[in-house]
């Protein structure tokens, strides 16, 4: 949730002027999340609440949110049970959002930034991964596979951008988070932090972050299909393919970085090389456009992976509220187990259309079974959607920066 909020905020900061009437909706969505994150961070001193509900118990039910009666267990991290990863991401979300609201709601913006600083301090001071502290409350669903150093880098990069306080720059330079990366997701933020920091190098000509710009370009060279150092597979239809489980989450997040680095390159008239291959802002922009076009229906199946968009889109998404009749049409309660036989295992289309949701996407052969039980391909997620808002605004707004 925090990563979704950071990405939606970043998209709004970079592309807000191209969002037209959607800018208000974007701010409203960010505020909905940050109101909650502020509560999580300020309700109890030295405690960050990070989850509600036992994921194993909740996954055993197929029921509407209105009918849920599973125990609402609350999980938190603290100095004795640290979670630098979840705290670093929460700090990033609050700091990024503080810039979104800086002019339109200065008081709220100040509260966001003050809270972000406290949460970042907690992440830096009490080191540890939340999966180690919380175990089965977060694993295997959202385990911190990449550790917490990437979130410390990401959180500090956002706080530096929001405050201009050089102590955050000193901290992130001392981290030694120098591993090469060819992915960007809710779990691994290295590439995102490097692109964010590159903004200062390219637009601000700040030599202190030159090494992060080099790492950002190394990342781009690992993504581009014609680069000699590419480590990214593409399907025959042209879709970036990273991992079998919910692949589109990587596509939307990486596409955000392609668009945004292209934007910085255009503004600074910058190009770089991958070996002997010259890379211009147009190179990155064209790949970003190709990925967005694929998601929206330019693919071998002519399938839009955005629900409700285009003539052909997923009809059996893995989503409880979408797959079970609404309270209006079925007022009686549907219990924890009752939803499986009638609504989960059926081949009938979902009764409710979750307009705009992007699902996990096709397999490596450009195939898509549209099967509700196949969560790797049919499940939507906020972090898939949040990352594509920026690229959509970028492409809709025109090609000029």
Of 85, 182, 318, 366, which one is the catalytic site residue? 318
Cβ neighbours of residue 347 under 8 Å, at least 6 residues apart? Answer: 316
Q: How far is residue 108's CA from residue 252's CA, in Å, rounded to a whole number? A: 29
Which residues share a beta bridge with 356?
Answer: none
Question: Catalytic annotation on 379?
Answer: yes
Of the candidates 260, 270, 277, 140, the one whose C-alpha atom is nearest the C-alpha of residue 191 is 260
By the 8 A CB rule, do 90 and 117 touch?
Answer: no
Of 132, 210, 298, 379, which one is the catalytic site residue? 379
Of 150, 151, 370, 377, which one is the catalytic site residue? 370
Question: Catalytic annotation on 318?
Answer: yes
SS3 162: helix
Q: Which two tokens stand for residue 245?
A: 């489980």
Q: How far is residue 63's CA from residue 320's CA, in Å, rounded to a whole number? A: 6
Question: Catalytic annotation on 151?
Answer: no
Strand ranges (E), 159-318: 233-234, 240-241, 272-274, 277-279
- Per-residue burial over 390-399, b if 16 or more Cβ lie within 10 Å, else e, is bbbbbbeeee
Q: Quick one: which H or E segment has residue 77?
A: strand 74-77
Cβ neighbours of residue 212 under 8 Å, at least 6 residues apart? Answer: 193, 194, 197, 198, 201
By the 8 A CB rule, do 124 and 152 touch?
Answer: yes
Angle, CA of 183, 184 and 187, to the nearest 5°: 110
Q: Which residue has the tokens 């692949």?
A: 247
**What amino acid positions are annotated as catalytic residues?**
318, 370, 379
């Amino acid at each position: 949730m925090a990563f979704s909020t950071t990405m939606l905020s970043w998209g709004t900061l970079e592309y807000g002027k191209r969002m037209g009437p959607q800018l208000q909706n974007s701010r409203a969505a960010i505020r909905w999340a940050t109101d909650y994150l502020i509560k999580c961070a300020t309700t109890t001193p030295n405690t960050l609440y990070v989850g509600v509900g036992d994921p194993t118990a909740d996954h055993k039910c197929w029921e509407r949110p209105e009918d849920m009666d599973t125990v609402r267990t609350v999980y938190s991290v603290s100095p004795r049970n640290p979670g630098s990863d979840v705290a670093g991401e929460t700090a990033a979300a609050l700091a990024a959002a503080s810039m979104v609201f800086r002019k339109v709601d200065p008081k709220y913006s100040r509260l966001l930034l003050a809270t972000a600083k406290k949460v970042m301090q907690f992440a830096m001071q009490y080191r540890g991964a939340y999966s180690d502290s919380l175990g089965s409350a977060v694993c295997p669903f959202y385990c911190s596979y990449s550790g917490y150093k990437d979130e410390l880098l990401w959180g500090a990069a956002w706080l530096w951008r929001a405050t201009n306080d050089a102590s955050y720059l000193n901290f992130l330079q001392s981290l030694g988070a120098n591993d090469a990366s060819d992915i960007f997701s809710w779990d691994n933020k290295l590439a995102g932090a490097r692109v964010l920091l590159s903004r200062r190098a390219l637009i601000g000509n700040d030599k202190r972050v030159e090494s992060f710009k080099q790492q950002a370009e190394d990342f781009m060279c690992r993504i581009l299909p014609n680069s000699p150092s590419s480590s990214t597979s593409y399907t025959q239809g042209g879709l970036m393919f990273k991992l079998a489980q919910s692949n589109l989450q990587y596509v939307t997040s990486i596409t955000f970085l392609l668009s945004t680095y292209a934007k910085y390159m255009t503004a600074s008239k910058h190009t770089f090389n991958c070996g002997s291959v010259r890379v211009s802002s147009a190179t990155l922009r064209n790949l970003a456009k190709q990925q967005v076009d694929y998601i929206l229906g330019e693919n071998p199946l002519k399938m839009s992976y955005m629900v409700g968009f285009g003539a052909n889109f997923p009809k059996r998404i893995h989503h409880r509220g979408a797959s079970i009749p609404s309270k209006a049409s079925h007022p009686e309660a549907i219990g924890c187990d009752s939803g499986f036989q009638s609504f989960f295992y059926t081949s009938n289309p979902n009764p409710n259309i979750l307009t705009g949701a992007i699902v996990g996407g096709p397999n490596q052969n450009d195939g898509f079974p549209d099967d509700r039980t196949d969560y790797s391909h049919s499940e939507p997620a906020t972090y898939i959607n949040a990352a594509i808002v920026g690229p959509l605004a970028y492409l809709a707004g025109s090609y000029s920066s």
